[in-house]
Structure 1
Amino acid sequence: MFAAFPRSPESDAVHLALGRVGPEVVALIRIPVELNGQPITALVDTVAMHTYVAVHLIPEADLVREVDIVQLATTGASTFTTGRAQVRVGVRDFVSSTSALVVHDLRDDLILGLPWLEQEDATVEVRGKRVHVGTRGRRMVYGLNYRTPPPRGEPLHLVDLRHGVPPVHVPMFDAVLGQQPQVFAAADLLRRTTITEHCIPTIPHRPPFEKPFGFGPRERLAIRDQITEMLEDGVIEPTESPYNCRIVMASKKDGSLRFCINFKPVNNITIPAPPPLINIAEALTGLGDARIFSSLDLKSGP
């Protein structure tokens, strides 16, 4: 957690002390937000006296150099802020403007402190890992499903990714994948993108609404656990949509249950728009003399 307090009466300097609490003691709440339109992850800190943002996210033109000697105590090192900036923080469809100290060596891209929490009349549910914000219409966002992010600059662990790679190619394999470590997520953490949105063209219709199936205790427990996991991962969000399709729990080969949705009612009102398929012969020819191939496996889905 962050705490800010004057370092000396003769100076406007503020000393920041970072006391890290192990994940076995408390789970820090991090939520998906947009900073000036860019998707990032923010730490919600209910004891921070300021809001802090990493220096690499603030353009030089937006930086106001009014805080000269603000010191940050991190993991045994110290650094200085480069100033202050006005930033736009978006939570779901709600966007607000707030002032933030621009700091080097932040472990998180953005730390939302008391000024922002008070400004947005935020309520933090530690047990449920939920944050409610908004003075005009409340928005709720679930905390992401992890506790402590890796420090910046930590090397990517590729042990699990080397399966099937010939030993002679391992150094080259590590070098290529290590150039873009940010595209890999932890095994229990899913990421999302807002680069594009998927729209389904439909014929004129009434929103389809189906009554849910009845489930036994085992199925209800699996539904609850998987919905909670997807909410924490940011894969789904609460909605009041008039559309409602039934949940179907399908059995996997290992006996566990897969969470599925029966979208047949939506398919019945969808205007078909199949994309053109590539020519298989041309695709195989394009492989040339390639010898190393990769495949991607989805965490869940068809």
Structure 2
Amino acid sequence: MTPQITFKSALPWLIVFALAALIPVFTSNRYILDVAVNIMIWTIAAYGLNVMLGYAGILQLAHAGFFGIGAYTVGILTLKAGWSFWLAWPAGVALCAVLGLLLGLVAFRTGRETFPIFTLGVGVIITQVINKWDALTGGNDGLNGIQAPKLGSIDFGRGAAFFYLGLITLGLVIFLVARVRSSMFGRSLIAIQGSEDLARTLGINVFSHQLRVMMLSTAIAGLAGGFYAVYIGFMGAAITGVAQTFVVLLYLLVGGVGTLAGPLIGTALMFFLGEQLKNFGDYQFIVFGPLLILMVMFAPGGIAGLWSKTMFARQKPPPPADRSQQEATDAGV
């Protein structure tokens, strides 16, 4: 049964976020805050992929493309249309949701087996369109000068304000995903993942649920992308590439597909490891590759899944002793 949200289950999350909120209090080091914000951005993106792959069992390979659409929407609307970030950001999320719906209307009709390949092709098309549409996206030159948002007297381009905006956004996304996971909709998605035919016999509209989870997934990707755009201040087509989708997928596989904590754990661990190895360039995959193989072999449920399994094993009561053992114990042997 899908777990319900209770104070006991939420307490570890509250502790983690309370500790995270203290980071800017104890350090003003720009590098540390930069790594922390990037981890939050890519964790949000990983949660978007997790609701598709982890709950519905559907691998969608245009995820970075929707991340880029959200980012470019914010960049274009703020730079060229003069919109406020606070209007452009939800507009980017809404656009990604609508495009996710349109993609789903076509892609889900191709069949579950061909769905990943279809979305892979769409991801390539998104990158090419962004890269070639010079008048709108800047083409190879990208978008420069995207300004950090302001809210009254708060300038999110300075100090710890951006960190706390990211932390609040991440917290809201985790809360939303947790609610979805514990809802009837989430339970229906898990049933669809197990067997679409069985789900239909239970009265579940499989196609409708798939479209809704597609919209949710792409909307979360656009949310992360819009936040990324104003934090980095520059957008290039490379961030929308299929390779970036596989990076997010790596975060998810290491953390634990279908788990609530997996995207956060996997992204934090792998992004931090990538920062330590970034001077090695593409050679860092010599480390990532074997690590992923070991995770698949020994912890297919990821770190979060392995932890849950270990804790469950610890909580299991010891097997009852057989009669002869019990008699020996009673006799003092």
Shorter chain as denominator, the TM-score bin is under 0.3
Structure number having the greater strand percentage: 1
| TM-score where L is the length of structure 2 | 0.21
- The higher-RCO structure (CA 8 Å, 6+ apart) is 2
